[in-house]
Structure 1
Amino acid sequence: MKGSNTLRQSCLIALMTFSATTFAAEKAAPLDLDQLQPTRDQVVASLNTVELLRRHHYNRTRLDDALSAQVYDTYLKHLDAQRSLFTQQDIDSFAENRLRMDDLLLSGDLSVGFAMHKRQLQRLEQRLDFSLELLQNQLSDLDFSTDQDILVDREDAAWAKDDDALHLLWRAQLKDEVLRLKLSGKNLEDIQSLLVKRYKGQQIRVSQTRSEDIFQNYINALAQVYDPHTQYLSPENAENFDINMSLSLEGIGAVLQSDNEYTKIMRLVPAGPAQRSQQLAAADRIVGVAQAEDEMVDVIGWRLDEVVKLIRGPKGSNVRLEVIPASNPPGDMSSKVVNLTREAIKLEDQAAKSRIIDLKNQGHDYRIGVIDLPGFYLDFKAYRQGDPDYRSTTRDVRRLLEELEKQKVDGVVLDLRDNGGGSLQEATELTGLFIDQGPTVLVRNTEGDVQVLDDPESGVTYNGPLAVLVNRLSASASEIFAGAMQDYGRALVIGEPTFGKGTVQSIQPLNHGELKLTLAKFYRVSGQSTQHRGVVPDISYPSLLDSKEIGESALPHAMPWDTIPPARYSSSQQLKPFVAQLQKSHETRAAKDPDFIYTLSRLGLDDEIKGRETLPLNEAKRKQQLNDYESRLLVMENTRRNAKGEEPLASLEKDDPADEVALNTNDADKEPDAFLVETGQILVDLLQLEHQVAKAD
């Protein structure tokens, strides 16, 4: 679903006491909407937020009618992203305030924001009542033999004309939900039990809505018009954020975000239980959570903070997650259960590691050193205490480079795939290992002043052939380092366009909660921003991650890519003449490589499936679509297996390699994957081209 996030708020799962909501069998008490009124503290906090945004946000955007319209539209999307709650009559009643939001916010008047949210709560209660009535009394009457279709994505659909049209939509959506569960293998009795429990649970959560929930949602509609990383944190969420930032990572190690009614995995923390399980991936959706052997709690429709509380728990305890894999085709709700043990993620688990891969090319043997770098880390406590043996990315990589050179490697690959960043200081110092000296990154603040961070020390730790391997989940400090290596002409950047987060945030305390505010922007030494576009590789690989779903460019109101005057630096042009030939050699190999062929075919198939605008509510047609998809996937997988001399499969199981091809992983404990081996081959190509040039000279 495109751009349908509510609040777009992400939390890192850390240590916290487990708390869960138990749901009574009876219907929840109706929500008392009259009690949901803004408090004085919230009014003051809204005025403070408005002033901070106007005066200190990097964009310096005026709060005027144009911005008012964006706040209104964003808030509507927060309240009803799929246009399945409000009617056109509701929208008409709201519309008179579309250009008044700025005036209301400037005066501290929160009444319209609260009124719109309360209407949404009314509609949500009506939808849950309608769905429960149908489930409990008319489920067997649902006809799955008609030619009815349903829109896959209603973000741009027309609003329902009136209540009758809304009821028809709700009925169709419930039919779709029932059909998805039927096709995942559940019978009607189990489906009824699951959905009744789910909707009753949602009724209870609606009845527990607080004034703070409405205020946070409304103020974030304002904050996130400025950019997706500017965010209001309620007092409770501000406390959680402080816990996350101050403790060692302890939990399952995953960054989550809201996506409509689902909780989606945004990325996995390196060396965490979730990543090490090799059963979870970015864009997987969590639909259930259970403690140890307890009953699975359905979490569809829950707020993100509620899901996070349920997943958190003490070190050593077990948690089970029910997830719908991102690799499922649209309409396939089949899920799997993943068992994880919560634990602390230690610094040494995330530390850089090295290995050597042996390659053959044109009758010659080559040794390529690989340094797997999950994050840019620094033991701040030991560093500040003056401990001479403090751990850091740069220190570890320097030691590994020296060890690899002693083993006479022919080139080095720095594997930054899935590296979400970390210490800016370490990104700068790591760059210094590969350049003599000079600027590494530029930071431009709200006033337009540019700070130049640089490597002041002369000398190079390693000056041999170098490649930097990146993917869509390489972000922040990874992008700064990769961009510097590319700008200096020091390394080939290979892989996918990176995440594209090139902004800097700071926490600003309020009288009530906190504001995470974007105050600055990163730029490469060439003057190009890393924002939005990320770092574009010299040689590109295909990806199973959908850039429309993952990355900065997938976020609404993401700040644009731009440039500033470059820093003064000396760039080598020695790699530039070889890039076209290296690309050609790579494409020739990839055209014959079974894993690359499979990945491109899979991408094409997934794009075709995701391009469908409607899905049938006819059971036979929907089942045929799923069967056709699995048949085509099986053909692709067996073509790959035959080319590699492996036994073909008779059918696909959920844990088969076709679901998750081992192409895009930086797990140092596994065999080298196809992308890593191909990166080594590109380095070998470079060595041979340089040798030919030297011989000709």
Structure 2
Amino acid sequence: MEYLYPCTIIPDLVVNKFKHMFLLQRRSLYAVLFTSLCSLALAGNAAVASGAKTENPDYLNLTPTADQEKASRDIARQLQYAHYRSLKIDGEVSSEVLDNYIKYLDPQRIYFTQSDIDEFENYRYRLDGAIKSGQLDPAFRIYNRFQSRIVGRLNYITGLLNTGVAKLDFKKDEEILIDREEAPWATSESELDNLWRKRLKSAILSQRLLGKTDEDISNGLRKRYESQLSRIKQSRSEDVFQAYMNALTNIYDPHTQYFSPRNSENFNINMSLSLEGIGAVLQSDNEHTKVVRLVPAGPADKNGKLKPADRIVGVGQGDKGEIVDVVGWRLEEVVDLIRGPKKSVVRLEVIPATASNDSETRVINIVRDKVDLEDQSAQKHVLNINRGGREYKLGVIDIPTFYADFRAMQAGDPNYRSTTRDVNKLLSELKAEGIDGLIIDLRDNGGGALQEAIQLTGLFIQEGPTVQVRTADNRVRVYGDPDEQIAYTGPLVVMVNRMSASASEIFAAAIQDYGGGVIIGEQTFGKGTVQSVRGLSHGQLKITEAKFYRISGGSTQHKGVTPDVVIPSAIDKSEIGEDALPQALPWDHIDAVAHRRYGNFTPLISDLAKNHDIRMEKNAEYQALLQEIDFLKEAKAQKTISLREDIRKQELKSLQDRELAYVNMKRAAKKEAQFKTYKDYETFQEEQSAQAPAKKDLDFIARESGEILVDVLTMQQQIADSKS
């Protein structure tokens, strides 16, 4: 085993000398809206020239190119011999590729029929040899059938809409499945017709509940379906190839991904920070564009209105521009609408994560901007807590990301900025102010430069290991801090949540393993793999090559870091997190590395948790959070939705009343005025969205972390007194 103290930057999430970013993949590819809006979805208009020929007036009959055939062979070779997971492309992989590809194209089972699926079964154990030899015809045959089915469905629903909304019966007692991912395939065209009739009714009801007239609803839906038909005609062979290759790469793990030439260009633009956006990670989610997470200190994060799991259904330009319906749009086309000039306004119509159906939408105004290093830099606060007649002064350092000004560093600038340098400076200032304890806030920190996680840990330990990295050939390297200087030796609490990932997890795990502090929050994301980007003759391949391991031996992959004291959040763990991603590499462990322990908080944890529970029973904001979590669980558990208008109205009213109740509970805890009606709450949200984002205050979880830190201080003092 090698034991190294690196002076170079180690890849964290993606190897790139300028910036490290948090990228995910689930169901379909993700787009990252950082300082740029990078589309990592199926390429649309800007695809390479294909051998497509028009055989149908409604869509192009697509065929593969020679470049794609060569790239298929290259990708197969690299996956088999360079990926961390040792997996040969064989008949079993072929079967999984077919399932992934069909799921990728028709995740809700609303286009293909059972007869289509039966026909595709002929390919189940034949795709492995075809992929390795560059034979792509099966993928293109399936895709062309898919295009045909989409055109048929859209023509049907447009015709049904043209007969008039009044012809549909909204008093009939029937319902529709919310999620059809596991539903049986339709066995006939008439069965599909009935499904699409229900889909149309549901879409109309959602619009009616928003107060729209039937005429406006008809016009809006007609535009939506015509737009989707138009987009089918714009499909290119690159759409097919990228979808097919990622049906293969996703079998290896969710972070291994093929980028088409256009998306490779967007990926590189994104990494070099050259365009403006809103700062959000997006994914396609059936017909919608879903927010996965917000980039720390980005425009959306500062705005505070857009949340993870919100679904974007409309995009407007400027304060008063028409909001364009983007339901059914390609991910990169939604990205293009959201992207724009710096300081310009984009308006997003979203279905909030808290909504149980599509009837609840709100409009959010966000000012586009770059995410500057200064905006992402660590910030300090002072939290004062009175306990037993004494005032405790606690330092809080918020670290949005693990950053370093790589350009300045490489240019030899002795004053270059980095997480570690900035935190070290803040620690000096806080110690000069006489703090009694320190809180490091890593909530929503998606990672960044691994070197910074290593060096930041070094501020709290003497010379020693920080993290282990194992490559596919089982070589293990240990990275650590060679500097014996310690910047802070006092009581420490580290706050994490589900969105704390990668470098954040490495730091939190190291502090926990060294016994340097108490970890508070919820189980972290669990992103414990390393990717590099490899150039291909046609596009690029992002491939997983290594895994991270704690110095205690366990991987951060899949399990993340388990906090010592749990404080939940409203983030849905079944939707967000490594263990929620298909084919995520499993947790495992290797040998621990010798390291010292600076403290042992294990005897205190039970009492810390007990004291925390007592305080939270009386905390109105916490109780409101629990209500919100229960509300979201119930909404997620709902399997069907009624197509009776009167029932839908009752359900919406009930949901709004419940949401208003826990919103008012949180406001009461902060001594803010109550909303009398849900309409008052909506008006307030619209007004807030149009205003400049307010400076974030320490929330109740940060304050409770302070209370826990004071508990640590008092318990340690009691132990010291008992020994004296």
Distance 1:222 1:340, change over 3 A: same
Q: Is 1:492 paired with 2:518?
A: yes
- Name the structure, 1 or 2, with higher relative contact order (CA <8 Å, separation 6+): 2
CA displacement at 1:646 relative to structure 2:
5.3
Q: Is 1:567 paired with 2:593?
A: yes
Per the alignment, residue 699 of structure 2 pairs with: 673
Q: CA RMSD in A?
A: 2.4
Q: Which deviates more, 138-147 or 81-90?
A: 138-147
For residue 326 of structure 2, the aligned residue among 296, 299, 317 is 299
Counterpart code for 1:313: G
Q: Secondary structure at the match of 2:314?
A: strand
Counterpart code for 2:586: P
Q: Is 1:49 paired with 2:75?
A: yes
Q: Is 1:246 paired with 2:272?
A: yes
CA displacement at 1:638 relative to structure 2:
4.3
For residue 110 of structure 1, the aligned residue among 136, 143, 157 is 136
Per the alignment, residue 218 of structure 2 pairs with: 192
Contact 1:582 1:682 in 2 (8 A): yes
Q: Secondary structure at the match of 2:381?
A: strand
Which deviations, in whole Å up to 9, do the C-alpha atoms of 1:137-169 show, x marking residues without a partner?
132111111110111111110100111111111
Rounded Cα–Cα distance in structure 2 between residues aligned with 1:363 and 1:485: 31
TM-score w.r.t. the length of structure 1 is 0.94
Per the alignment, residue 547 of structure 1 pairs with: 573
For residue 309 of structure 1, the aligned residue among 336, 353, 356 is 336
Contact 2:557 2:587 in 1 (8 A): yes
Q: Secondary structure at the match of 1:251?
A: coil
Contact 1:4 1:81 in 2 (8 A): no
Rounded Cα–Cα distance in structure 2 between residues aligned with 1:668 and 1:538: 32
Q: Which deviates more, 395-404 or 628-637?
A: 628-637
Distance 1:147 1:395, change over 3 A: same
For residue 71 of structure 1, the aligned residue among 97, 115, 133 is 97
Contact 1:17 1:314 in 2 (8 A): no
Contact 2:467 2:479 in 1 (8 A): yes
Distance 1:570 1:653, change over 3 A: farther
Counterpart code for 1:10: A
Per the alignment, residue 25 of structure 1 pairs with: none
Rounded Cα–Cα distance in structure 1 between residues aligned with 2:334 and 2:541: 22
Per the alignment, residue 419 of structure 2 pairs with: 393
Rounded Cα–Cα distance in structure 1 between residues aligned with 2:666 and 2:333: 43
Counterpart code for 1:316: K
Contact 2:559 2:587 in 1 (8 A): yes
Q: Is 1:404 paired with 2:430?
A: yes
Q: Secondary structure at the match of 1:467?
A: strand
Rounded Cα–Cα distance in structure 1 between residues aligned with 2:329 and 2:597: 51
Counterpart code for 2:611: S
Q: Secondary structure at the match of 1:338?
A: strand
Within 5 Å, give how 1:130-209 maps onto structure 2: 130-209=156-235
TM-score w.r.t. the length of structure 2 is 0.90
Per the alignment, residue 379 of structure 1 pairs with: 405
For residue 322 of structure 1, the aligned residue among 349, 363, 367 is 349
CA displacement at 1:659 relative to structure 2:
8.9
Distance 1:588 1:248, change over 3 A: farther
Contact 1:7 1:258 in 2 (8 A): yes
Distance 1:83 1:16, change over 3 A: closer
Per the alignment, residue 18 of structure 2 pairs with: none
Which deviations, in whole Å up to 9, do the C-alpha atoms of 1:13-47 show, x marking residues without a partner?
444899999xxxxxxx834443x100111000001
Which deviations, in whole Å up to 9, do the C-alpha atoms of 1:201-250 show, x marking residues without a partner?
11110111001111111111001111111111000000010111112563
The count of residues paired between Structure 1 and Structure 2 equals 681
Contact 1:5 1:260 in 2 (8 A): no
Counterpart code for 1:331: N
Q: Secondary structure at the match of 1:505?
A: strand
Counterpart code for 1:479: E
Contact 1:13 1:312 in 2 (8 A): no
Rounded Cα–Cα distance in structure 1 between residues aligned with 2:669 and 2:438: 29
For residue 509 of structure 1, the aligned residue among 535, 542, 548 is 535
Counterpart code for 2:525: F
Counterpart code for 1:507: V
Contact 1:482 1:493 in 2 (8 A): yes
Distance 1:388 1:668, change over 3 A: farther
Rounded Cα–Cα distance in structure 2 between residues aligned with 1:463 and 1:120: 62
Per the alignment, residue 7 of structure 2 pairs with: none
Per the alignment, residue 692 of structure 1 pairs with: 718
Per the alignment, residue 24 of structure 1 pairs with: none
Rounded Cα–Cα distance in structure 2 between residues aligned with 1:71 and 1:451: 34
Contact 2:492 2:709 in 1 (8 A): yes
CA displacement at 1:573 relative to structure 2:
4.3
Contact 1:531 1:552 in 2 (8 A): yes
Contact 2:35 2:371 in 1 (8 A): no
Q: Is 1:7 paired with 2:28?
A: yes
Distance 1:672 1:657, change over 3 A: farther
Contact 2:59 2:232 in 1 (8 A): no
Rounded Cα–Cα distance in structure 2 between residues aligned with 1:17 and 1:239: 9
Distance 1:17 1:352, change over 3 A: closer
Within 5 Å, give how 1:207-606 maps onto structure 2: 207-247=233-273, 250-292=276-318, 293-328=320-355, 330-606=356-632
Q: Secondary structure at the match of 2:29?
A: coil
Which deviations, in whole Å up to 9, do the C-alpha atoms of 1:267-297 show, x marking residues without a partner?
1122221111122111111112223244322
Contact 1:416 1:478 in 2 (8 A): yes
Distance 1:232 1:290, change over 3 A: same
Contact 2:37 2:335 in 1 (8 A): no
CA displacement at 1:466 relative to structure 2:
0.5
Rounded Cα–Cα distance in structure 2 between residues aligned with 1:477 and 1:450: 18
Counterpart code for 2:88: R
Contact 1:15 1:315 in 2 (8 A): no
Rounded Cα–Cα distance in structure 2 between residues aligned with 1:633 and 1:180: 18
Contact 1:503 1:518 in 2 (8 A): yes
Give ranges in structure 1 of 5+ residues lacking alignment: 22-28
For residue 85 of structure 1, the aligned residue among 103, 108, 111 is 111
Q: Secondary structure at the match of 2:520?
A: strand
Rounded Cα–Cα distance in structure 1 between residues aligned with 2:667 and 2:34: 38
Counterpart code for 1:286: I
Counterpart code for 1:301: G
Contact 1:13 1:308 in 2 (8 A): no
Counterpart code for 1:535: V
Distance 1:253 1:61, change over 3 A: same
Q: Secondary structure at the match of 2:600?
A: coil
Rounded Cα–Cα distance in structure 2 between residues aligned with 1:13 and 1:589: 38
Rounded Cα–Cα distance in structure 2 between residues aligned with 1:530 and 1:462: 25
Q: Secondary structure at the match of 1:289?
A: strand
Q: Secondary structure at the match of 2:605?
A: helix
CA displacement at 1:184 relative to structure 2:
1.9
